[in-house]
Amino acid sequence: MARAVLGGGCFWCVEGAYKDMKGIKSALPGYAGGHDPNPNYNSVCNGSTGHAEVVEIIFDDSVISYETILEVFFTVHDPTQMNRQGNDIGTQYRSVIYYLNDEQKLTADKVRDDFQKYFDDEIVTEIEELSNYHEAEEYHHNYFQLNPGNGYCQMVVAPKLAKVRRKLTHLY
């Protein structure tokens, strides 16, 4: 099994994109990259911890490659928005790929550069070594699937997931 940690705005959107995908063992929301040793949802949301909302993806790399994981990432969010996704504004919503080794860093750089041709604006996705990762509280796990009637889920998450599944149907 391999591991990827990605931040693309609200972690409910990113987590939902990887659910039910071939080769994905788990996709769990979390926080990474900040300075607070004990972040929680409230402290991360108010921007005081330096953490980004992220998703930790555990995957079978004999079924799905890290490169494909990143292709999904660049499809589910807008990597040209600095410290925001739509109405979610702040550094906690930054676009970031946390690498775990040199190979992941090289792949992340390559995929980011390859995806630039699909965007008019510059991709601002950060690529950083993973630091200070913490799994998010249990009530965030599988949030979209457990809360389909939530207004945010209906207006923001559902359209993003529909776009990913429409474009990348072969992965499900």
Adjacent-strand bridge partners of 99: 129
Catalytic residues: 10
Mean pLDDT of the chain: 96
Residue 77 CB contacts under 8 Å (≥ 6 apart), including other chains: 8, 9, 13, 14, 85, 95, 160
pLDDT (tens digit per residue) in 142-165: 999 999 999 999 999 999 999 999
Q: What is the mean pLDDT of residues 82-89?
A: 92
Per-residue tokens: 151: 């207004």
Which pLDDT value is given to residue 143?
95
Per-residue tokens: 82: 């600095």
Q: What is the mean pLDDT of residues 30-37?
A: 97
| Residue 86: pLDDT over 90 | no
| Residue 32: pLDDT over 90 | yes
Helix H or strand E segment including 29: strand 24-32
pLDDT (tens digit per residue) in 66-81: 999 999 999 999 999 9
Domains (range + CATH), the chain = 2-171 (3.30.1060.10)
Which pLDDT value is given to residue 147?
94
Q: What is the mean pLDDT of residues 79-97?
A: 95
Residue identified by tokens 């099994």 is: 1
Longest dimension (CA), the chain: 41
> How is residue 63 annotated by DSSP?
T
Which pLDDT band, with edges at 50, 70 and 90, does 54 fall under? very high
pLDDT (tens digit per residue) in 105-127: 999 999 999 999 999 999 999 99
